[in-house]
Structure 1
Amino acid sequence: METARKIGHRIKLYGELVMFSHTLFSLPFAIISMIWAAGGLPSWRIMLWGLIALIGARNGANAFNRVVDRTFDAQNPRTAHRHLPRMLLGEKEVLLFVLINYAIFIFAAGMLNPLCLILSPVAIFLISSYSYTKRFTYMSHLYLGFTIASAPIGAWFAVTGKFAFTPFILGTIVMLWIAGFDIIYGSQDIEFDREHKLWSIPSIFGLKNGLRIAAGLHSIMVLLLIVLIPIRGLGWLYIAGLVIAILLLMTEHKIIKPSNRKVMKVASYNLNQVISMVILFFTLADFFLLK
């Protein structure tokens, strides 16, 4: 029993390290992409290996980011509670965790098709290099969104093994959405970023301008979601979900208060997890019920 408890505790620590619940940001769009690419439910093999690839890449990238940012995390009062600053996990074991997850990702990509296998090292480079971008460019928010945008694009490749236009629209939507709420999240660290010479849109352009940029990115995201209606022949259920998602986005921008950590968690994470699930549910309902 004691051994099982220790293993369970270790798994819990790694789940917290990579913020596993945040998979809800990329997974719904990957599922939509898979189903559109397949014209219905993909085979169980595609779904299984696609999910394994997504989790492996995401866990590896998040853990690597924690290692790269460990010094800044320890100095920032908002992040000093994280696992590496508190030494709940060791740096070497986290790096081993990164390597294992990247190996799982490459293997899963190879089980999908040759295109996914060929592109897997490129994907690893992109999702790992994000960790350094805040040191030299305020475009780090968009780069983060760009790396997460690989989920719906990769999901399409997993099903078809071919390039297409639709997954890149989905990827751009994800990029703008992630970048927008990452700017909101980053507004909590304006002074810390300036003091430690870290680049972010709020620290460079100020709070008000930063939040305007975030709102602008989310506005373009909504326009692209609307563009998908004629391209994919989407119906009223998708439109209903889009209206709900827009209302949630408006709420997100309305409640922003950088001095209140609980409110910022709701604005940056909780509401966006709901938004992604709303889009997923109504898009799938539209696809399966109205076709």
Structure 2
Amino acid sequence: MQMINKFVHKTKMFGELVMFSHTLFSLPFAIISMIWAAGGIPSWRVMLWSLVALVAARNGANAFNRIADLKFDAANPRTANRHMPRKLLLSREVHVFVIVNFAIFILAAGMLNLLCLVLSPVAVVLICSYSYTKRFTWLCHLYLGFTIASAPIGAWFAVTGQFAIIPFIIGTVVMLWIAGFDIIYATQDIEFDRNTGLFSIPGVFGLKGALLISRSLHGIMVMLLVSLYVIQGLGWLYLTGIIISMLLLATEHRIIKPSSRKVMNLASYNLNQVISMTILFFTLADQFLL
């Protein structure tokens, strides 16, 4: 019983380390991409291995980021309470976790098709390299969005094994959306970034400039979502989901308060989880009910 409790406790800590609930940022768009690629529901095999690949890649990337950022997390009062700075999880444990997850990711990619297998090492390099971009460029937010955009693109490849324009439009939507709310979240660390030599859009352009850039990215994101309505010949249910998401995005930008961690978590994380699920729900309803 003690061993079981210890295992459950460790599993919980690793889930917190990689912020497992944030899978809701990429998963809904990956599902949409698979549904559109298949013209309906893909086979259970494709859905299973795609889900395994997505979760494993995300877990590995987030854990790697915690390793790469350990020094900064320990120095930043906002993040000093995380698992690795407090030594609740040891560095060697997290390294093993990263290796295991990336191995699972490559295995899952190989179970899908040759294209996914060939691209899987490239994906690992891309998603790990994000951790170092904040050391030399304020474009790190867009690069983060770019790495997460690999989820819907990879999901399309998993179904078809071929390149197409639609998954890259979906991926661009994800990139702009993620970058926009990551900029919002980064406004909490303006002074820390400047003092430690880290690059971020809020650190370089200040609060007002950063929020303007964030709003612009989200505006372009919405326009691309509307373009998918036209290109895919979608119906009123999809458009309803986009309108609701626009209202949620507007709310997100209206409530920003960098001095309040609770408000910033709501604006940067909670509302965006609702946005992604809203888009997924209405897209699926449009696909299967109209």
Same fold by TM-score, threshold 0.5 exceeded? yes
Task: After TM superposition, give the deviation of residue 230 of structure 1 in Å.
Answer: 1.2
Distance 1:284 1:77 in 2: 42
Structure 2 match to 1:129? 129
Answering whether residue 165 of structure 2 is matched by residue 165 of structure 1, we say: yes
Equivalent-residue separation in structure 2 for 1:225 and 1:42 (angstroms): 22
Question: Helix, strand or coil: the match of 1:81?
Answer: coil
1:39-85 deviation digits (Å, cap 9, x = unpaired): 11000000000000001100000000000000100010000010000
Which residue of the partner structure matches residue 67 of structure 1?
A: 67
Q: Aligned residue for 1:34?
A: 34
Residue equivalent to 1:103: 103
The Cα offsets for residues 207-263 of structure 1, whole Å up to 9 and x where unpaired, read as 000000000000000000000011001100001111100000000000000001100
* Aligned position for 2:53: 53
Q: Which amino acid aligns with 1:158?
A: A
Give the aligned length.
Answer: 290
2:90 and 2:209 map into 1 onto residues whose CA distance is 39
Find the counterpart in structure 2 of residue 281 from structure 1. 281
Letter in 2 for 1:180: G
Q: CA deviation at 1:86?
A: 0.2
Q: What amino acid sits opposite 1:261 in the alignment?
A: R
Matches within 5 A, 1:77-226: 77-226=77-226
| 4+ residue runs over 3 A deviation | none
Between the aligned partners of 1:192 and 1:48, the Cα distance in structure 2 is 41
Q: CA deviation at 1:26?
A: 0.1
Amino acid at match of 2:175: M
Match of residue 13 from structure 1 = 13
Query: In the alignment, residue 209 of structure 2 is paired with which amino acid?
Result: N
Q: For 1:72 and 1:275, locate their aligned partners in 2 and report how far apart those are by CA, in whole Å.
A: 30
SS in 2 for 1:206: helix
Give the superposition deviation at 1:2. Answer: 1.5
2:251 alignment counterpart: 251
Question: Structure 2 regions of 5+ residues with no counterpart?
Answer: none
Q: What is the rounded CA distance, in whole Å, between the counterparts of 1:260 and 1:11 in structure 2?
A: 29
Aligned-residue Cα RMSD (Å) equals: 0.4
**Distance between the aligned counterparts of 1:164 and 1:129, measured in 2?**
25
Q: Deviations over 1:168-227 (max 9, x none)?
A: 000000000000000000000000000000000000000000000000000000000000
Residue 86 of structure 1 aligns to a residue whose secondary structure is coil
Write the distance in 2 (CA, Å) between the matches of 1:256 and 1:72: 24
Q: Secondary structure at the match of 2:192?
A: helix
Report percent identity of matched pairs: 72
Could you tell me which residue of structure 1 aligns to residue 241 of structure 2?
Answer: 241
